[in-house]
Amino acid sequence: MDELILRHNRHATYSLQYHLVVCTKYRHPVIKDNLKKRIIEITYMVFEEYWNCTINTLNTGLDHIHILFEAPPQVQLSKLINNYKTVSARLIRKEFSEELKSYYWKPYFWSMAYFICTVSDRSASAVKEYIENQGKEE
C-alpha cells in the first residue's frame, strides 16, 4: 500500500486525488504521434502551472486521456476540467488543423462528457497501474 502523502496550504491539510478521463468528440482515434506529445505537454501546463495541481501519472489511448492528479481543496473541479478542455482544444485545433480536418468539420476536439472520481490512498496504486497500461492494446 502506498504511503499517504498529506499536503498543506495556508489553511488546510489535505490529500485529494482524482482520476479524470476525457474522450475525443465522436471517439475519433486521433491522439497519436506528435499530437499525443503535444496533448501531454498541454495537460502538464494547464494542471500544474495554471491550476497548481500535481499530475501523478497520465496516459492516452487513441481516443481518450487518463489523468491521475492531486488538487488543492480550493480548486473547483468543473472549472478546471472546462478550462483544460477549452485550452487544449484551442491549441490542438490551431497547431494540428490539417491532421484533424478529415475528422472534425466543426470546431470541437473533446466530447462534452467526462469521467472523474476520487482516488483513495488504498486504490491509488491500482488506478496508477491501470492508467500506465492504457494504449498498450492499440
CATH 3.30.70.1290 is held by the domain 7-132: yes
* DSSP H or E stretch at residue 83: helix 77-95
The per-residue pLDDT for range 80-114, each reduced to its tens digit, is 999 999 999 999 999 998 888 777 767 789 999 99
pTM of the model: 0.90
**Backbone torsions φ then ψ of 82, nearest 5 degrees:** -60, -45
pLDDT band for position 137 (cuts 50, 70, 90): low
> Which span out of 2-6, 53-57, 92-96 was modeled with the highest average pLDDT?
53-57
Q: Catalogue the E-assigned strands of 4-137.
A: 7-8, 13-14, 17-24, 54-60, 64-70, 110-119
pLDDT higher than 70, residue 138:
no
Q: Of 103, 53, 56, give the one whose Cα is nearest residue 79.
A: 53
Domain boundaries, the chain: 7-132
